Amino acid sequence: MIIDFTDEQVALRDTVRDFAKNRVAPRARRLDREQEFPRESWDDAAKLGILGMCAPEAYGGGGLGVTDMCIVGEELAAVCLSTTATLLHQADLVVARFVRHGTEEQKRRYLPGLCDGTLIGCLAITEPEAGSDAMSMRTRAERTDDGWEITGAKTFITTAPVADFALVYARTGEPGSRELGLFVVDLTAEGVSRGRSFHKMGWRGSPTGEFAMDRVRLPADAVIGSGTDGRAILMAGLNSERIVMAAESVGIARGALDVALDYARGREQFGRPISSFQLIQAKLADMFTGVAAGRTLTYATAKALDEGRGDGLTALASACKVFTSEVAAKATSEAVQILGGNGYTDEYPVERFMRDAKLMEIGGGTSEIQRHIVARELLHDRAVL
């Protein structure tokens, strides 16, 4: 290992690797085929402390950082990206919002249940007319005498079909302003209606859905922050989200390499293992190079974020995501090619890896958006190496 992990991080990696191999991997094929929520792995992960890993110990969490989340993400994604996405959506995108921006009362109300898995939350940004252009969202929250009233629709929301509540971004300022608020919305409340649960190309074991809100009344303490600082909260969470997604991409690429390498050693054609053919060797070498480069970039950026060196990290976080997501797409495709006809069947996991990897180039900001961000930061002299 060229990554300088602490003894505690090495122990975390080994624990999660064992969990991934013995508990998550055997369930992955069924989850993908039946498109079901990974309940067993969810409960096991809660017991291991994965769901609340970044929450303070006082609320039932582990007090860990972004680097630790990357370790967990890489190890889990090497066997099942659906399970990884579901668990880390809660751990990073939901729990971390309360940790960083919630009031003490909100932390005490929500974090224990989120950490032990009895509460399922989701983060809702995307709308039918607002994907990459998040600031064009139409969902609106208005102040009332005793709280807020929110109306709008959200789509492509991870775990929405099974979540108890959603953290919802909504417009709060005057028309034309860029003011947003972040609100806790009970998905069983009057005025909330859940829509479709999407049937997807990949991430089939991570339920994705939509919901609409029609004049849903919220109490005053349902807002996280001031009600006008939602844009700052949104932007503050993007770097960690993209770095963790990069680690997941590294994991799925590594998983594909592991399967392809094992297969190439054992599969014989023309009287010898296909691993002896130079074209196969070149594919394996390229896969390894991508994993090694992506891992190094991702963990260096995660460490910088944990150490508070935030200046210039926006470009690096986007660079992590765009590079590793494309490494994952290439590595999983090459793994299918190395396995040939076997790779195209679900008897081996690489066809699932290939389908799952595609979303890494889309979710959390497309590769096109990431390149735009990197270029913008460079042109404004905000990118550092």
pLDDT given at position 1: 63
d(CA 355, CA 349): 10
Cα atoms in the 13 Å half-sphere on the side-chain side of 2: 9
Q: 241 an active-site residue? A: yes
What's the pTM? 0.95
Between CA 249 and CA 243 the distance in angstroms is 10
Tens of pLDDT, residue by residue, the chain (385 residues): 678 899 999 999 999 999 999 999 999 999 999 999 999 999 999 999 999 999 999 999 999 999 999 999 999 999 999 999 999 999 999 999 999 999 999 999 999 999 999 999 999 999 998 878 878 899 999 999 999 999 999 999 999 999 999 999 999 988 778 899 999 999 999 999 999 999 999 999 999 999 999 999 999 999 999 999 999 999 888 999 999 999 999 999 999 999 999 999 999 999 999 999 999 999 999 999 999 999 999 999 999 999 988 678 999 999 999 999 999 999 999 999 999 999 999 999 999 999 999 999 999 999 999 999 999 999 999 987 8
- Which pLDDT belongs to residue 313? 92
Per DSSP, the three-state class of 309 is coil
pLDDT at 336: 98
Chain centroid to Cα 163, Å, comes to 16
From residue 220, give the alpha-carbon distance in Å to each of 108, 143, 211, 288, 307: 17, 9, 22, 52, 35
The structural domains of the chain, with segments of one domain joined by +, span 7-119, 122-224, 230-380
pLDDT for the residue 384 = 79
The closest of 228, 215, 241, 252 to 180, measured between CA atoms, is 228
Q: How many Å apart are CA 107 and CA 214, to the nearest integer?
A: 27
**Coil, strand, or helix at residue 180?**
strand
Residue 208, both tokens: 């994705």
Q: What is the C-alpha separation between 101 and 83, in angstroms, rounded?
A: 26
What local confidence, expressed as pLDDT, does residue 267 receive? 95
230-380: which CATH topology? Butyryl-CoA Dehydrogenase, subunit A; domain 3 (1.20.140)
Give me the pLDDT at residue 333, please: 98
Q: Tell me whether the CATH fold assigned to 7-119 matches the one assigned to 122-224.
A: no
Dmax of the chain from CA atoms? 80
For residue 311, the model assigns a pLDDT of 73
DSSP letter at 127 equals B
Q: Domain 7-119, what fold?
A: Butyryl-Coa Dehydrogenase, subunit A; domain 1 (1.10.540)
**Pick the catalytic residue: 74, 127, 210, 241?**
241
CB 333 within 8 A of CB 352: no
Q: Give the separation between CA 171 and CA 191, rounded to whole angstroms.
A: 18
- H or E, element range at 384: none
Q: What are phi and psi of 126, to 5 degrees?
A: -65, 140
Strand 121-124 relative to strand 165-171, pairing: parallel
Q: Are 85 and 206 in contact (CB under 8 A)?
A: yes
CATH of domain 122-224: 2.40.110.10
Residue 285 in contact with residue 240, Cβ under 8 Å? no
CA distances from 293 to 132, 169, 327, 362 (A): 27, 35, 9, 21
Give the Cα separation of 190 and 32 in Å (integer). Answer: 33
